[in-house]
Amino acid sequence: MEMEVFDLGLIDYKNAWVFQKETFKAVKSRNPRHALILCRHYPVITLGRGVDRKNILADESTLVLKQIGLYEVERGGDVTYHGPGQLIAYPVFNLGYFKKDISLFLRYLEEAIIEFLYDFGIKGTRLAGLTGVWVDNQKIASIGIAIRNWITFHGLSVNIKEADLDNFSLIKPCGMDIKMTSLETLLGRNIEIDDVKENLISKFKREETNDEGSFARVRRGN
């Protein structure tokens, strides 16, 4: 699978959001065919389309004091928190080259995270009806995506650093009473995010199942 990887490092949510949209346009014009954006964010709370504002537990002054941004975005799902202790991946994939199936793509993202955790000897699991990846009923990775014209954006976050988990108390993640965990918590040792990025990237290989993209190109007469 042809996929260009962009590593944005630690970046403000808004700038990465703009970058995602630019990448989306590039993938839509088929150059590159697929893209994977990796990054970490300064502390931010994002609200998906399924949001219930009651799930933001902190008041506005607390967020201002802690310099935590707040954005309403076009992804699915409720409220979530992102911070520098998470590794974030935004796959901008053209599902025209795969089966056009939203649930299959969500399960594919979960599988990538489960395989990533397996590299560290951790058994991640799915919980029926609760998209995301869990370890012993604690959540380690969250997923929320948007699809336009069968091209995906937004994506997933994996909790790596233990120190970042505290800020989840500012919200009710996904509108549920969830206990979050992190790779560091589970392994009981320090993990540098830069050291685990390649593990995650390597899990995004996927065999293309149809040639609809090139068929569309032929139809346009190119």
Tell me the catalytic residues: 174
Q: How many other CB atoms are found less than 10 A from the CB of residue 71?
A: 12
Shortest reach from residue 163's CB to another protein, in Å? 26
Using rule CB under 8 A, residue 145 touches another protein: yes
Q: How does strand 86-92 pair with strand 34-41?
A: antiparallel
Q: How far is the CB of 144 from another protein (least distance, A)?
A: 5
Cβ contact 39:88 at 8 Å: yes
CA-closest candidate to residue 69, choices 77, 78, 80? 80
Number of alpha carbons in the 13 Å side-chain half-sphere of residue 120: 24
Write each residue from 118 to 137 as x if it is in contact with another protein (CB under 8 A), else as -, in one continuous string.
-------------xx-----
- Candidate residues 75, 82, 139, 203; the one interacting with another protein per rule CB under 8 A: 75
- List the one residue out of 203, 214, 95, 99 whose CA is nearest residue 151: 95
Among 146, 178, 196, 201, binds another protein (CB under 8 A): 146
Tell me which residues in 8-47 interact with another protein (CB under 8 A).
none
Total interface residues for another protein by CB under 8 A: 23
Which CB atom, from 110 or from 164, has the smaller least distance to another protein?
110
Q: Does 196 bind another protein (CB under 8 A)?
A: no
CB of 192 to another protein, least distance (A): 29
> Residue 190 — φ and ψ, nearest 5°?
-70, 135
For residue 32, give both structure tokens.
Answer: 């590159």
> By the criterion CB under 8 A, which residues form the site for another protein?
48-50, 74-77, 100-106, 131-132, 143-149
